[in-house]
Structure 1
Amino acid sequence: MAPSSLELILIGFILILPFLYETSKAFRYYFKFFVYYGFVMTTAIVVIPVMIFRPKDVRNLLLASSICHHISGLIGLKWELRGTEHIEKEQACVIVANHQSSLDILGMFDIWPIMDKCTVVAKKELFYAWPFGLAAWLCGLIFIDRMNSDKARTVINRATEHIKEKKIKMWVFPEGTRNNTGDILPFKKGAFHVAIAAQIPILPVVFSSYYFLDTRARELEPGNIIITALPPISTEGLSKDDVEILMEQTRNTMLEVFKAISKEVTSAALKTPASN
């Protein structure tokens, strides 16, 4: 039986894929993000039936990360964690990290088994991106309405009591938005208010620059990223009057480390030609 027109088109498309991948940076960019998001969504469908038996349990993230951390290898990213001793300790704390791209989540997947019990503060819009949103809810993510600060504060305060009791880490991106410009934006105060109110430490985590990513030019090439967990900063004895100082101290420390490890990875990349 002769192949149909649709089958011929499909065969032709499959045959041309390798050519497009090797010759077009834009195609590689979209293809890799398609693999990334497609893998995450498929994983969500697979794990939801398991997670549903222990809803809103942060341990569900260990299951999800054990599958999703393979995505990095598929799209050519390698993560190196430094300061493991700070992040593996079982303690309630507020992790503050710089936010460059949705690729940050892949780095989190890579280190989740070391963090163990950790949840994430995320914008409520992500909850509606099903099946990912449902899986995230089952994993105990904290969804907040960024347009309603009073309601968001109530949700976080309630969650803080739980993480303090269960010694869970709370991951926050204090810049409030993605920023891949080679800098760290000024921080918002929320995470620092929470840490001081609960008298739990701030744990800074710094991702080196994504020199391999250019969203405007639609480029996503292979790359290495250093994730550095810094020593926790105590909030014991601090009050709301100390928020500004604590926030600036944390950001300045993170910015210094960010510049150092970013220089390290970019210098190494120049010495080692990248492959697709």
Structure 2
Amino acid sequence: MSIYLEVLMFGALLGLPFLYETRPTFSYCLKFVCYYTVVMINSVILIPPFSFRPRNVLNLVVASYFCHWITHVIGVKWILRDGKHLEADQSCVIVCNHQSSLDILGMFQIWPTMRKCTVLAKKSLFWIWPFGLAAWLAGIVFIPRVKTDRARVVLNQAMGKLVKNKIKLWIFPEGTRRNTGEIHTFKKGAFHAAISNQLPVIPVVFSRYYFLDRANKKFDQGSVIIKVLAPMSTKGLTLDDVDSFTEEVCQKMAEAFREVNREVSKEMESNCDLKRVAQLKQ
């Protein structure tokens, strides 16, 4: 009986590469399972050391070293542009477009550059343990998604500590993640917080995940350009300027998004041409 089991297991192992290359859905699921599994395992490993300095955002830098390598396994390359804007030892609000849970993997690549930076996340993520507990110990700011008034109170309380300790706050102003090839309408919370505390806003744009198709369950190899725009000052602005400032930031990010998308599109076309040449040579 054991011999039959060994044969079946050996056959299954031999079949995995075939399924990976020929079944897009299998590849899609396998890559996300690997990604989430690594994050969960690392959460378990990191909870004990994080407990010695709870709520310290530098724990996120440690987490990035533990998790960033998974990007090589799933075949995604991250290219940082103008990262110098993120290096300043000062409090600011970073706003970024939101396309997929892969955004966090991209952040892991640049956390050592940002250093003291935390993220505004929906409170429901806290209950996904062990990840939620590790994230809380690392200083992630959780806010209730539905209760707007309560969310504003939590954010305002957090801002005082962040400003005092020169900590950057990363916010996805679109709210819901959508990989549709465009920048969607921004919620105003990030800009309200920045203006209230007279903090600069640093826009960050991730190019479109052209290699990821959730509807058709396709997850190919690909590259993502992370473009950091110059800080936008809020000095002298009042809450009456929130709407116009939000629109200004949104327009700048939409323009940068189109620019980096053109660049990755050219790279994708070049890769396709190389594949065709290789096929012709065969």
TM band (smaller chain):
over 0.9
Provide the rounded CA distance (Å) in 1 between the counterparts of 2:155 and 2:243.
20
* CA–CA separation in structure 2 for the residues paired with 1:170 and 1:246: 18
Deviation at 1:141? 0.3
Partner of 2:18: 19
Once the two structures are TM-superposed, the CA of residue 10 in structure 1 deviates from its matched residue by 3.0
What number of residue pairs does the alignment pair up? Answer: 274
Residue aligning to 1:91: 90
1:204 aligns with 203
Q: Distance in 2 between matches of 1:178 and 1:5?
A: 46
| Whole-Å separation in 2 of the counterparts to 1:160 and 1:60 | 19
Note if 1:223 corresponds to 2:208.
no
1:110-132 Cα deviation digits (max 9, x unpaired): 00000000000000110011110
Map of 2:163 onto structure 1: 164
Name 1:120's counterpart in structure 2. 119
Match of 1:67?
Answer: 66
How far has the Cα of 1:267 moved from its partner? 1.1
Tell me, what secondary structure is at the counterpart of 2:2?
A: coil
Q: Take 1:272 and 1:56, find their aligned partners in 2: how far apart are those partners?
A: 44
Q: Deviations over 1:66-119 (max 9, x none)?
A: 011101111001111111111111110010000000000111000000000000
- Partners of 1:213 and 1:62 in 2: CA distance: 27
Q: Tell me, what secondary structure is at the counterpart of 1:272?
A: helix
Q: Which residue identity does 2:64 align to in structure 1?
A: S
SS of residue matched to 2:210: coil
1:250 alignment partner, SS class: helix
Determine the C-alpha separation between the residues in 1 that align with 2:241 and 2:214.
37
Give, in whole Å, the separation in 1 of the partners of 2:234 and 2:62: 32
Residue 272 of structure 1, CA deviation: 1.3
What's the CA shift string for 1:133-152, capped at 9, x where partnerless? 01000110000101111111
**Aligned 1:37-186 pairs, distance under 5 A:** 37-186=36-185
Number of the residue aligned with 1:194: 193
Whole-angstrom distance in 1 between the partners of 2:156 and 2:20? 47
Could you tell me the TM-score, scaled by structure 2's length?
Answer: 0.94
Match for 2:193: what amino acid?
V
Q: What is the TM-score when the length of structure 1 is the normalising length?
A: 0.96
| Gapped regions of structure 1 (runs ≥ 5) | none
SS in 2 for 1:234: coil
Q: 1:270 to 1:231 in 2, by over 3 A?
A: same
Matched residues in 2 for 1:110 and 1:250: separation?
A: 24
In structure 2, what is the Cα distance between the partners aligned to 1:92 and 1:7?
A: 57
Paired with 1:220 and 1:5, the residues of 2 have a C-alpha distance of 34
Separation in structure 1 between the aligned mates of residue 137 and residue 25 of structure 2, nearest angstrom:
35
| RMSD after superposition | 1.3
Per-residue deviation at 1:159? 0.6
Q: In structure 1, what is the Cα distance between the partners aligned to 2:204 and 2:103?
A: 11
Letter of the 2:236 counterpart = G
Deviations 1:155-185 (A, max 9, x none): 1101100110111110000001011110010
Identity %: 52
The residue identity in structure 2 corresponding to 1:146 is R
Distance 1:232 1:161 in 2: 20
Deviation (angstroms), 1:11: 3.0
SS of alignment partner, residue 77 of structure 2: strand
- Give the drift of 1:5: 5.2
Matched, 1:240 2:239: yes
Letter in 2 for 1:44: S
Distance 1:7 1:157 in 2: 59
Task: Give the CA deviation at 1:6.
Answer: 4.7
Q: Structure 1 counterpart of 2:233, which letter?
A: S
Q: Distance in 2 between matches of 1:140 and 1:168?
A: 10
